[in-house]
Structure 1
Amino acid sequence: MDAAVSQVQIVGLSHVNAVRGALARDPAALPCPVQVLHMLSAVPSRRFVVDEDGAPQLDPGLRATVRAVADSGKLVFSQVGGNTHHFFGLMRHPQPFDFMLPERPALALDDGARLLTCGYVRAALRHMMQAEFDMLAALANATRAPLCHLESPPPISDNGYCERLLPASFQPWIAQGRRVAAPALRYKLWRLHSGLVAAECHRLGIGFLPCPPDAMDEDGFLLPPYWFDPLHGNADYGALLLRQLAQRIRRTDAPAPPAHG
């Protein structure tokens, strides 16, 4: 049986803000102390990963913070990366593209876009995700505690809302006349991204926790009560995540069933 959980660390980038907001409203949402580490606050230079002897390692200061809490009895949850699919396809490309997602072949296609194969788009997205994979590996190398990555939230279906709440980094594209891509394309890219992250987690021996089903509508988009901006869930979404983490903690703390025979 795993040791009882006495401490939780949540390590990541902007997606940790939803959890922070939820904890500010309900500090006792988890049955044990929790430490939320925003990597950008710890490493303003954004050089989160360094190479040591050919292996990705966290920035030394961030690594020391993770290791300041003993691995015994600790659970670590990752929210590193999570937005590469948005940088890849949140905005409609000057040469529009689309593709068919094999598991959802009925999803709409853009008649005015170049149709690419799913494999081609997946390979291009995966190439952009190497920094995410390096952060996952570096976090795994920083601790021997059980580590589980949280899936990034689903896309928002309302393009008007997305354009009104675009983060500053996307505003120059609006000035160039680009607009938010069709919801179906953004959904397909999110599914490719999640599949790639899940596969990398499996390769690294990291758990992967899908986003809360209660946060999604029947088409798989994020429900309006959980919207913050086109990239992130809000504090209510963070509360759903904390509920998932609390369930994981309870499962870890549960006594093993008695042996039979």
Structure 2
Amino acid sequence: MIIRKTPAEIEAMKEAGRVSARVLREVGAHVRPGVSTLELDELAETLIRAEGGIPAFKGYGGFPGSICASVNEQIVHGIPSANVVLKEGDIISIDTGAIVDGWVGDNAWTYAVGKVSPEKKRLLEVTEQCMWAGLDAARPGNRLGDIGHAVQSIAEAEGFGVVREYVGHGIGRDMHEDPNVPNYGHKHTGIKLEPGMVLAIEPMINLGTHKTRSMPDGWLVCTRDGLPSAHFEKTVAVTEHGPMILTTEEGYRRPL
């Protein structure tokens, strides 16, 4: 069941979005060689709680962290660890969310650790482009397939793989609501997008094959071929006036 939000509820969700965006930005600013993913996780939890929020991920389905920290070939759901120390040339996807007044904000970004290879740099650039294209398609009158098609067409034009098994989702008082939001699809197919729908759009794009493998801890997902993966995400409301990004800070401007 898709839970459409009223304009007042969308307005209320902005605070959870602001906190989530601020935390992601500040944690991202601490990404550098020699930092462990556990240190980044502890920083995220401290920042969320200082804002009066609750880490949305911690304890969700038994997940132990406040962020998902996925490095290089790791696609999603990496558990933060003192044993995972970032090094020059890595890329790291940081996915975090906050609950404020019962509403959830969810966002992710993939950061370069120091200087990265041209291939990794291009992967980050294209995956971010995919996210913006998906967000731009979140308009009344479009259909769910328009979002997936926007993402898929950009990624596959570069020869990259689009992850199938893990998708975006509706979001509100629960982190995962209907509908699922695939990063692949055909134009003008799927459910019709209507004002009040709030979606987490999150392309997961691989340098090589789209195929994945699940790791023994029951959480971490990696690329099948061991090549790097990138992940970008924002929460967006479908409104009569077009997409309204909720995981953002005041004064934020989309990069040109």
TM-score for both structures, normalised by structure 2: 0.25
Structure number having the greater helix percentage: 1
Structure with the bigger RCO (C-alpha within 8 Å, sep 6+) is: 1
